[in-house]
Amino acid sequence: MPTDAIQCKPLEVAVGDKGIERAIKHLKRKMAAEGILRELKRRRHYMKPSVKRRKKASEAARRRRKRSKMDVMQ
């Protein structure tokens, strides 16, 4: 059974003068930006192939909308 493993560099957050709460907040922001939380939610339950195809198409549309929104802002 092939896996959809994604290779990426590990997330690191430096805890400086601002404290551990600030570092946790920064880590959560980085995880959201990398899509780690979305990936965990996706892998939590089995998804039928037909649902997986629909989800993949909707994710692609979401990325296209985000990209076009960023292009308009520049």
Residue 2 has pLDDT above 80, yes or no: no
Q: What is the pLDDT of residue 39?
A: 85
Taking every pair of Cα atoms in the chain, the longest distance, rounded to a whole number of angstroms, is 50
Q: What is the pLDDT of residue 71?
A: 81
**pLDDT digits over 26-58, tens only?**
998 988 888 888 888 888 989 899 999 999 999
Are 11 and 34 within 8 A, CB to CB?
A: yes
* Average pLDDT of the residues in 55-62: 93
